[in-house]
Amino acid sequence: MSLGADRSYKMKLRDVENAFKYRRIPYPKRSVELIALLAISCTFFLFMHTNKLNSRLKEMEVKLQPSEFSALGLTGNHVSGHDAGKHDDINTLHGTYQYLKSTGQILQLNAQDLNNTPKADIDVVFFNRVPKTGSMQLIELMRQLGKVHDYEVEKDPQVGGVLPLLELPEQSDMIENIVNLEDGTVFASHVNFLNFTKNEQPRPIYINMVRDPVERVISWYYYIRAPWIFVPGRRRTNREMPNPKWVNTEYDQCVLSGEKVCTYIEGSLLEHVGDHRRQTLFFCGHDEFKCTPFNSRLALQLAKLNVEREYAVVGTWEHTNETLAVLEAYVPRYFADATKMYYSGLHADKQNDNPMKPHISQDILDMVRRNFTREIEFYQFCRQRLHKQYLALKLNDLKRADKSLARLEAANEMAIKN
């Protein structure tokens, strides 16, 4: 937009310059004055116009606050990891914006192209919630929104955690159950991605949440060691209470002493159901060989593909406002006014929050992060997509605003002519 304005500004300037080049031709004095006046008013108008657009873009940039995570790849086109740790890296909203602007992609961003909701064949939201990403918080929000927008939230009871890899008949059963839910239902379950098309069933609206993968495993580590979690849990399932050493071992110690639960070996398979090191698994599916090897390239690519093709929104509480805005705009039937609802009280009431989580040293975090490269890449991919979806919305607003600027320009030209 500013490019176009710039060009027409330059053209007009050239016209004016040309007019002055030939000033030896004796123009009547009046015309010279008129041209000068025209030039000044044109320049002034265009200056205002470009300025207005620039300040809009600036405003947008200011609002897009940088945060501080590392960078790895945008939509699989690898922007090298060397930028990792830079302040304005590509995974922040601001960084994504800068990147898209520098490559000229920003003007092609289109919310419609990034919207998978129209692909859904049924009015059911399938939230295959990843543990420890704040999914309870989103369920609470949806419960409240459901009262306003007339829908139900069904949470899979699944006592004791996540569903294992499902065999094909089990996948079909679950898919059939979901398809048979009433219109206007959200179904939330800790289960890996399910392919409805493969079962020749109509597709739901897919949504999910993600979190920094290392934060996530640490959160899980302390969650299961919190007495208010394991005591009722073990009572319910009649299991012995754990040994105090297990309860009291800090994550740092666990990593340093090379305990199995805190060692992350590339290509290793699931140790047990609820081995929580693979966030990608929830987006990859139920194929043991393709999806379970830890930190593998194939699982990463399949997970990315499914996010890009299938999911309406994959949000994160690390970008709360963007997630809410994107949910509102891309899944309005279920999320209209989500921001307002969230900030009218829910935001203060964190579900499943664990105050016991201690500070973990940067060395340990770095050590663990080195083994989570692809898991981190997946998380960054989801964030970049969220940023893109958000920017596409903001850009629509800008373009709408620009139309009114174009009308103003036309009116101004009329005024000059008359």
Ligand X SMILES: *[C@@H]1O[C@H](CO)[C@@H](O)[C@H](O)[C@H]1NC(C)=O
- The helix/strand/coil state of 211 is coil
Site for ligand X in 183-222 (CB under 6 A): 195, 197-198
Q: Which two tokens stand for residue 360?
A: 């973990």
Q: What is the separation of C-alpha 238 from the centre of its chain, rounded to a whole number of angstroms?
A: 40
Among 87, 235, 309, 399, interactor with ligand X by CB under 6 A: 309
**Least distance from ligand X to the Cβ atom of residue 193, Å:** 7
If the CB atoms of residues 46 and 255 are measured against ligand X, the closer one turns out to be: 255
Q: Which two tokens stand for residue 135?
A: 């999914």
Stretch that binds ligand X, among 237-245, 348-356, 364-372, 378-386 (CB under 6 A): 364-372
Q: In what order do the strands lie in the sheet with 152-155?
A: 152-155, 185-188, 124-127, 205-209, 311-315
**Least distance from ligand X to the Cβ atom of residue 263, Å:** 4
Nearest to 6 by CA among 48, 50, 41: 50
Active-site residue, 190 included: yes
Mention every residue, 6+ apart, whose C-beta is less than 8 A from residue 1: 53, 107, 398, 399, 402
Query: CA torsion, points 94, 96, 102, 105, in degrees to nearest 10?
Result: -130
If the CB atoms of residues 137 and 153 are measured against ligand X, the closer one turns out to be: 137
Q: Does position 318 bind ligand X by CB under 6 A? A: no
Query: CA torsion, points 171, 205, 76, 200, in degrees to nearest 10?
Result: 40
How far apart CA 80 and CA 78 sit, in angstroms, is 6
Q: Does position 96 bind ligand X by CB under 6 A? A: no
How far apart CA 236 and CA 232 sit, in angstroms, is 6
Identified catalytic residue from 49, 94, 190, 319 = 190
Among 145, 217, 368, 386, interactor with ligand X by CB under 6 A: 368
Site for ligand X in 327-356 (CB under 6 A): 343
Mention every residue, 6+ apart, whose C-beta is less than 8 A from residue 19: 35, 39
If the CB atoms of residues 10 and 309 are measured against ligand X, the closer one turns out to be: 309
Q: Which two tokens stand for residue 410?
A: 């036309």
Minimal CB distance residue for ligand X: 198
If the CB atoms of residues 83 and 252 are measured against ligand X, the closer one turns out to be: 252
**Least distance from ligand X to the Cβ atom of residue 319, Å:** 8
Site for ligand X in 249-288 (CB under 6 A): 255, 263-266
Among 67, 172, 371, 373, interactor with ligand X by CB under 6 A: 371
Among 67, 321, 354, 412, interactor with ligand X by CB under 6 A: 321
**Least distance from ligand X to the Cβ atom of residue 322, Å:** 9
Active-site amino acid positions: 190
Binding site for ligand X (CB under 6 A): 195, 197-198, 255, 263-266, 306, 309-310, 321, 343, 367-368, 371
